[in-house]
């Protein structure tokens, strides 16, 4: 079946540091890939997405590139801020699974001033 594996946390960084969170997937067919962010006490917000191979999703300084050859969708940000402290989830959806979202376990990121 479809599944997502993402880097375990927690991750603690200083402000302006470089952030990368690894995500790899297993899927039948050609999934779409997503990064969602969850701030403390809130629901999920879509951060970025990519729907086909080599697409790059970007938003708020975050980027991720859909790499079919390595089945990966790593999240990166060049200079993090304290406000980026949150839990980040990698997810996929595919026609083979009726487009339901399959999530990774989440990575907690804490940015210190």
Partner 1 sequence: DAGVTQSPTHLIKTRGQQVTLRCSPISGHKSVSWYQQVLGQGPQFIFQYYEKEERGRGNFPDRFSARQFPNYSSELNVNALLLGDSALYLCASSLRTENYGYTFGSGTRLTVV
Rounded to a whole number of angstroms, the minimum distance from the CB of residue 83 to partner 1 is 18
| Upstream peptide bond of 10 is cis (omega within 30 degrees of 0) | yes
**Alpha-carbon span 34 to 27, nearest angstrom:** 14
- Assess 103 for contact with partner 1 (CB under 8 A): yes
Rounded to a whole number of angstroms, the minimum distance from the CB of residue 15 to partner 1 is 26
Query: DSSP state, 28?
Result: S
Rounded to a whole number of angstroms, the minimum distance from the CB of residue 79 to partner 1 is 27
Cβ atoms of residues 14 and 84 within 8 Å: no
Query: What residue ranges bind partner 1 (CB under 8 A)?
Result: 4, 32, 34, 36, 42-46, 49, 51, 89, 91, 93, 95, 98-106
């Amino acid at each position: 079946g479809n599944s997502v594996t993402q880097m375990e946390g927690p991750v603690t960084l200083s402000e302006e540091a470089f952030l990368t969170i690894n995500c790899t997937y297993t899927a039948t067919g050609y999934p779409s890939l997503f990064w969602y962010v969850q701030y403390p006490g809130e629901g999920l917000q879509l951060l970025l997405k990519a729907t086909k191979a080599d697409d790059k999703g970007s938003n708020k300084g975050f980027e991720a590139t859909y790499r079919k050859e390595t089945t990966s969708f790593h999240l990166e940000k060049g200079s993090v801020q304290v406000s980026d402290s949150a839990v980040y989830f990698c997810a996929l959806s595919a026609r083979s699974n009726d487009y339901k979202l399959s999530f990774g376990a989440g990575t907690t990121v804490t940015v210190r001033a």
